Structure 1
Amino acid sequence: MFSGSIVALITPFNLDGEVDYVSLKKLVDYHVEAGTDGIVAVGTTGESATLTVEEHVKVVVKTVEFADGRIPVIAGTGANATHESVTFSRLLNNSGIAGCLSVTPYYNKPTQEGLFQHYKAIAEESDVPQILYNVPGRTAVDLFPETVARLSEIESIVALKDATGDLSRIAKHRELCGEDFILLSGDDSTGLDFVKAGGQGVISVTNNIAAKDMADMMKLALEGNFDEAAVINERLMTLHKNLFVESSPIPVKWAAHKMGLIAHGGLRLPLTELSDSARPVVAKSMTEACIY
């Protein structure tokens, strides 16, 4: 159901800080033309933490509208309050989304039982497949494989986005969750190795500005052509890393603006634009990756 190269889409803003829907449509068309396999709208890379509930829902709905059936859209529905994630799920029922992606609750550091109950509550309020998202480096909580296994028994929970960078977890997840459970990387630097070890794809930040390369690489990898895929990955590796030279999505929004994919590279506080010292680092990575 979910596989290949899926973009963790940025949310473009106008100079006044409002969502730029003209640029959003341009981004959707860019990914359709590049062969991207899916779009995550208003995930964490889409600055979900700083959008209002109304904006969050509207961006998802407009992304579905712009996609017009050409590419599946997954809605980011994560929050650190279960009731907020449940609200997103309810509001997006019957919206045309292909699924929901929910990050583990950040800051409040729930127990494993709390994580289980959190995701169970979300799944009970949604009419679409659910993707778990584990990124302990940003949330300060780790979703253990044993908890993923418990959650995988809930019919609508079908996948995990694993951004730990720990490739040893793939075999553990596969053993505990079975062959049908979908495993997606959330770490571009190890994404190809993740698929080589048995994953089905990557939800990618790099994809925002190197969409065709990421789509080609994942297609080759899923066909078993890992040597050819590795050639592309090696060219992108510095970019994978330097898009995190400052907190994401700061670097990737600057890069997308530089490429003309969005009209402005602005973010919402507390995030600020890419520093002068980091700009040459990202620009050099873009040149080395042959995308600019």
Structure 2
Amino acid sequence: MIQGAIVAIVTPFKDGQLDEETYRELIEFQIAGGTHGIVPCGTTGESATLSHHEHKRVVEICIEQVKKRVPVIAGTGSNNTAEAVELTKHAQSAGADAALMITPYYNKPTQEGLYQHYKAIAEATHIPIIVYNVPGRTSLNLLPETVARLAKLPNIIGIKEATGDLNQGARVIRLCPENFIVLSGDDFTALPLMCLGGRGVISVISNVVPDDMAGMCNAFLSGNLGTARSLHYKMWPLMEAMFFETNPVPAKTALKLMGRISGEVRLPLCNMSPANEERLRQVMVNYGLI
């Protein structure tokens, strides 16, 4: 079942190369923390700077290491429909439980173009597909009415809604079938969106505090809103800190400060400024992480 706290896991590098051993350790850290699912090769996984070979390898390692303990939702989106089909077919053959597909960035297709893009991929594959709407990165908005059209396609099962707009999230939930999975794409809207009918979150801060984000989702899903709300506010400073600079730079820096990864990112991303790293470090000290 796809619900709860699903981590958009970082991709660790060492000397410019994929650090496979550390990646496996991060996956185990997530499983031990109670994470409900893992997304390799999402935006937080720096998919934009992975070669096709690396992208496929990252997905394969994740599936192999997870061993079906939680769902693996492979990032397979592209602004090139043919490339998205190729990556989705690979995820399908590798054994991923679902594919997460960002809207085509830069091209700026119309709503009809977005529909046809996803329809073409859905018809070329049989893996469950979760569409991903993040206008802040793609410069276009997948409107609720278009999502409702897509929800009629058999293998499009949900959406990662990262507009930060609860009104839009509510419209998607209202227009789509009851079994359509709506996941928050912003940590700070995870709890309020679940209150409106969402099923969980694809999370950045789960990289750092998988136990607390999973705990919040577990509490909400079991009807304990008080505990869920307390965890929401506990995590709030860390949610803000994860965006002191462009994601995933703060998440990787936090994991570096915790001694889990090197913190290395690929250009055009670069290391956090010393001032922002110090701000992040102080949030983590206050949280009790370091």
Superposition TM-score, scaled by structure 2 size: 0.98
**Distance across 1 between alignment mates of 2:34 and 2:266:** 30
Pairwise CA distance, 1:32: 0.8
**Distance across 2 between alignment mates of 1:47 and 1:267:** 8
1:227 aligns with 2:215: no
Q: Is the 8 A contact 1:89 1:125 kept in 2?
A: no
Match of 2:12 in 1: 12
Match of 2:159 in 1: 160
Pairwise CA distance, 1:290: 2.8
**Distance across 2 between alignment mates of 1:289 and 1:3:** 26
Q: Is the 8 A contact 2:173 2:198 kept in 1?
A: no
* Aligned-residue RMSD, C-alpha: 1.0
Pairwise CA distance, 1:208: 0.2
**Distance across 2 between alignment mates of 1:213 and 1:290:** 12
- 1:266 maps to a residue whose letter is E
Pairwise CA distance, 1:175: 2.1
Aligned-partner SS, 1:62? helix
**Distance across 2 between alignment mates of 1:235 and 1:176:** 33
Pairwise CA distance, 1:31: 0.8
Pairwise CA distance, 1:121: 1.3
Comparing 62-71 with 155-164, which one deviates more in the overlay? 62-71
**Distance across 2 between alignment mates of 1:176 and 1:71:** 29
**Distance across 2 between alignment mates of 1:290 and 1:219:** 22
Relative distance call for 1:189 and 1:223 in structure 2 (3 A) is same
Q: Percent identity?
A: 47
Aligned-partner SS, 1:93? helix
Aligned-partner SS, 2:267? coil
**Distance across 2 between alignment mates of 1:281 and 1:124:** 47
**Distance across 2 between alignment mates of 1:145 and 1:88:** 26
Pairwise CA distance, 1:94: 2.3
Match of 2:184 in 1: 185
Match of 2:130 in 1: 131
- 1:3 maps to a residue whose letter is Q
Count of residues in Structure 1 that have an aligned counterpart in Structure 2? 290
**Distance across 2 between alignment mates of 1:21 and 1:161:** 27
Question: Where do 1:41-190 residues align within 5 Å?
Answer: 41-190=40-189
CA shift digits 1:43-93 (9 cap, x unpaired): 111001000111101100011111122222110001111111111012222
Aligned-partner SS, 1:2? coil
Q: Is the 8 A contact 1:250 1:272 kept in 2?
A: yes
Match of 1:291 in 2: 289
Q: Is the 8 A contact 2:91 2:99 kept in 1?
A: no
**Distance across 2 between alignment mates of 1:250 and 1:92:** 26
Aligned-partner SS, 1:159? strand
- 2:283 maps to a residue whose letter is S
1:271 is matched with which residue: 258, 262, 269? 269
- 1:265 maps to a residue whose letter is G
Comparing 143-152 with 251-260, which one deviates more in the overlay? 251-260
Match of 2:31 in 1: 32
Pairwise CA distance, 1:287: 2.4
Q: Is the 8 A contact 1:235 1:288 kept in 2?
A: no
Q: Which runs of 5+ in 1 are unaligned?
A: none
Q: Is the 8 A contact 1:184 1:203 kept in 2?
A: yes
Comparing 226-235 with 143-152, which one deviates more in the overlay? 226-235
CA shift digits 1:15-61 (9 cap, x unpaired): x2100001100011011111100000001110010001111011000
Pairwise CA distance, 1:171: 2.7
Q: Which runs of 5+ in 2 are unaligned?
A: none
**Distance across 1 between alignment mates of 2:67 and 2:177:** 33
Pairwise CA distance, 1:222: 1.2
- 1:5 maps to a residue whose letter is A
Pairwise CA distance, 1:224: 2.0
Pairwise CA distance, 1:282: 1.1
**Distance across 2 between alignment mates of 1:28 and 1:222:** 24
CA shift digits 1:75-127 (9 cap, x unpaired): 00011111111110122222111100001111111110111011111112222
**Distance across 2 between alignment mates of 1:288 and 1:275:** 20
Aligned-partner SS, 2:17? coil
Aligned-partner SS, 1:279? helix
Pairwise CA distance, 1:170: 3.0
Pairwise CA distance, 1:218: 0.5
